[in-house]
Amino acid sequence: MLSESQKKRLITAAIYAPSADNSQPFQFRWQNDNTLELWIDPTRSGKASDNRFVLSDIALGAVLENIIVCADSFPLSTQIEYFPDGVQNELFIASIYFLPAERALDASDDLVGEIPKRCTDRRFPFKGPIKTQTIELLTNAAKQRDCDLLSFACKKTIKHVLPVIQQAETIRFKSKILHQELFSTVHFNNTQTEEGMPISVLAIEKPAQPMFKLMKKWSVMNFVNKIGGAAMLGFRSVRIPILFSPALVLITMKGKDRLSVIKAGRAIQRVWLQASQQGLSVQPYAAPGIFSLGYIACEDELKSQLDAVATQMRNIVNNNSATNDYGLMFLRIGYNKAVQHRSHRRPVESFVKN
Q: Which residues bind ligand FMN (CB under 6 A)?
A: 18-22, 55, 58-59, 62, 119-120, 122, 197, 283-287, 342-343
Shortest distance, position 339 Cβ to ligand FMN, whole Å:
8
Question: Does residue 119 sit in helix, strand or coil?
Answer: coil
Rounded to an integer, what distance in angstroms lies between the CA atom of residue 293 and that of residue 52?
Answer: 10
Rounded to an integer, what distance in angstroms lies between the CA atom of residue 198 and that of residue 190?
Answer: 6
Residue 150 or 262 with smaller CB distance to ligand FMN: 262
Residue 39 or 285 with smaller CB distance to ligand FMN: 285
Shortest distance, position 288 Cβ to ligand FMN, whole Å:
9
Shortest distance, position 218 Cβ to ligand FMN, whole Å:
20
Q: How far is CA 316 from the centre of its chain?
A: 20
Residue 151 or 283 with smaller CB distance to ligand FMN: 283
- The residue nearest ligand FMN at its CB is 18
- Sign of the CA dihedral running 279, 283, 289, 295: positive
DSSP string, 182-250: HHTTEESS-TT-SSSEEGGGGT--GGGHHHHHHTTSHHHHHHHHHTTHHHHHHIIIIIHHHHTSSEEEE
Shortest distance, position 345 Cβ to ligand FMN, whole Å:
8
Residue 2 or 282 with smaller CB distance to ligand FMN: 282
Shortest distance, position 28 Cβ to ligand FMN, whole Å:
17
Residue 229 or 284 with smaller CB distance to ligand FMN: 284
Q: In what helix (H) or strand (E) does residue 137 lie, and over which residues does it extend?
A: helix 132-143
Residue 59 or 71 with smaller CB distance to ligand FMN: 59
Residue 157 or 185 with smaller CB distance to ligand FMN: 185
Shortest distance, position 215 Cβ to ligand FMN, whole Å:
17
Q: Residue 10: which residues within 8 A CB-CB, separation 6 or more? A: 2, 36, 67, 70, 71
Shortest distance, position 1 Cβ to ligand FMN, whole Å:
31
Residue 22 or 73 with smaller CB distance to ligand FMN: 22
Distance from the first to the final alpha carbon of the chain: 22
Question: Does residue 90 sit in helix, strand or coil?
Answer: coil
DSSP string, 27-70: EEEEEETTEEEEEE-GGG---GGGGGGHHHHHHHHHHHHHHHHH
Residue 20 or 96 with smaller CB distance to ligand FMN: 20
Shortest distance, position 107 Cβ to ligand FMN, whole Å:
26
Q: Which amino acid appears at position 338 of this protein?
A: A
Q: How far is CA 174 from the centre of its chain?
A: 22
Question: Does residue 17 sit in helix, strand or coil?
Answer: coil
Q: What is the DSSP letter of 16?
A: T
Find, among 309, 260, 344, 277, the residue nearest to 54 by Cα: 260
Q: What is the CA radius of gyration of the chain?
A: 20
Shortest distance, position 55 Cβ to ligand FMN, whole Å:
5
